Structure 1
Amino acid sequence: MNLTLNNGVTMPAIGLGVYQSAPEDTTAAVETALKCGYRHIDTAAAYGNEREVGEGIRHSGVDRDEVFIETKVWVSDYGYESTLHAFEKATAKLGFQTLDLLLLHQPAPERFDQTVAAYHALEQLLADGRVRAIGVSNFMPHHLENLLAETEVIPAVNQVELHPYFTQPQVQDANAKHVILTQAWSPIGGITFYPGWGEGRKNVLQDDTVARIAKAHGKSPAQILLRWGISQGRSVIPKSTNPLRIAENFDVFDFDLGTAELNELSGLDRGVRNGPDPDQPRPEMFSRVIPEA
């Protein structure tokens, strides 16, 4: 199943995420995913495994043109020239000359002038044909409005934390207003281990409502949550290095959730994020150096 971005580029609705996948595990996970049928891989400079993602794609035997590759620029590389160089670092590590989707990883509101300059670099890369689509990650509605006021190209994608316990309706509405695709990281709510954030987290995979709906369909809770996201028109990028779970997470196209079930899942929203607040200053982000290729 593909989704069409606002510039006409198509992107597979489900992709493999590799956040917190150790480099030594990433190559095999990507290879496994592609052999299971995935055609979309999401990584980032800050994950430290772009090189292994490229190796996994090559090991899979799947042609580069069949794989949608998405990565992100880290905030310490924001700024026009620095972001252009960040693209060079990413493509050199991946081993491919072009990218399908390039995102700014955080809004970094305390240095938003650098964020805007970085996005101008993305616009140039798009104009040059070096990326097929550009976008943002973790942008709240006010971040989007501030960016759009100073740039020309509307982001194709906004990747944010989104699962039934944290549905971010205002973000989804803002994205829809500008025809920006909402992409969910942590789509099954499993990323609950950000140090210092979201104390008292609860994992939606263990929710009784999810378990009941999963039992009714003969599916796992993770499959129900992924189908919920896809059925509402979102892109989802579940993360796993376990071959069985990688395959299970892709096996979500042979059943449908009813309207009542979709609404019941959306009604689980607690309004509490598991990950960091994009508006909370984190000066340490800017001191992290992304290595050269």
Structure 2
Amino acid sequence: MDPRRHPDHTLNDGTSIPRFGFGTWQIPDAQARGLVAAALDAGYRHIDTAQMYGNESGVGQGIADSGLARDGLYVTTKLNNNNHDPGRAIASIDDSLNRLGLDYVDLFLIHWPLPTIGIDYVDTWHAMEEIRGSGKARSIGVSNFAPEHLHRVVATGSVVPVVNQIEVHPYFAQHTLRSVNAELGVATEAWSPLAQGQVFGDATLKAIAERLGRPISAVVLAWHLQRNDIVFPKASSVARIRENFDALTLTLDPADVAAIDALNEDRRIGPDPATFDWVPTEEV
């Protein structure tokens, strides 16, 4: 048995998601094909992309190049901020599927709640429910939803989001929001799990990594997995792709987990969902 065997998480709709995947944020479309193919070759089976990333075509080409059976892969994409209008949201899934070269995605997320733009994300959620009903997305969820956003969707929708993909890393542990997710039966996905590279200069993490003889990235990703986060680190080289994947062979002892927990500063690196309102002008 491969010691890096994927741990899975059963979502609230009964589907299963690999808890370790490959993220493609900031990977240009031209590079996505090769890196996604390399990740799948290394053993990854969960690929995370988004309309906003502008790389769905490259991601789809990498998936096709892998030669792997579709039912053995888990593919996520996300609704762009200029597609919140329900009609645009419903049309946009077809555009994503065309770019990806797929008949369906496993998971489709509202990328940001955008509470200030004048289109209620609850109406967008109802469009997501329609997309799920069409079979073009097996599961639907949200991203960057704060507790107040999540509670409104759960209270007014007919489907509970299966995941909430949020910023989580050792400096922003998100204890409150992760608890709300859990109470509602919503899985937590962690974006920027390595704090956009900030973990590599951390003395505490360096000490743990050196004692264990493992890379810092493996230590931090193992911490996420042990607290039941779903993670999908980005990597821009084949070597880092493989290094990250080897985190599946590492189990931290309680003292190391506590030391990493103590790094929390409740400090964001990314935008605040309560105020983030960027909407692109171009069609995506």
Normalising by structure 2, we get a TM-score of: 0.94
2:56 equivalent in structure 1: 50
Q: Which moved more, 1:203-212 or 1:242-251?
A: 203-212
Aligned length: 278
Q: Is the 8 A contact 1:23 1:49 kept in 2?
A: yes
Q: Distance in 2 between matches of 1:238 and 1:244?
A: 13
Q: Which moved more, 1:36-45 or 1:130-139?
A: 130-139
2:4 equivalent in structure 1: none
Q: 1:179 aligns with which of 185, 197, 200?
A: 185
Instruction: Classify the secondary structure of the residue corresponding to 2:170.
Output: coil
Q: 2:269 aligns with which of 274, 277, 283?
A: 274
Q: Which moved more, 1:29-38 or 1:124-133?
A: 124-133
Q: Distance in 2 between matches of 1:130 and 1:65?
A: 14
Instruction: Classify the secondary structure of the residue corresponding to 1:109.
Output: coil
Structure 1, unaligned runs of 5 or more: 192-202
1:252 equivalent in structure 2: 247
Q: Distance in 2 between matches of 1:215 and 1:170?
A: 31
What letter is aligned with 2:23?
A: G
1:231 equivalent in structure 2: 226
Normalising by structure 1, we get a TM-score of: 0.92
The structural deviation recorded for 1:287 is 3.9
The 5 Å alignment of 1:160-175 reads: 160-175=166-181
Instruction: Classify the secondary structure of the residue corresponding to 1:209.
Output: helix
Q: Distance in 1 between matches of 2:143 and 2:29?
A: 22
Q: 2:258 aligns with which of 260, 263, 274?
A: 263
1:33 equivalent in structure 2: 39
Instruction: Classify the secondary structure of the residue corresponding to 2:156.
Output: coil
1:290 equivalent in structure 2: 283
The structural deviation recorded for 1:113 is 4.2
Q: Is the 8 A contact 1:13 1:234 kept in 2?
A: yes
The structural deviation recorded for 1:42 is 0.3
Q: Distance in 2 between matches of 1:130 and 1:279?
A: 29
The answer to whether residue 96 in structure 2 is matched with residue 86 in structure 1 is no
2:236 equivalent in structure 1: 241
The structural deviation recorded for 1:290 is 3.1
The answer to whether residue 220 in structure 2 is matched with residue 220 in structure 1 is no
Q: Is the 8 A contact 1:26 1:241 kept in 2?
A: no
2:153 equivalent in structure 1: 147
RMSD of the TM alignment (CA)? 1.3
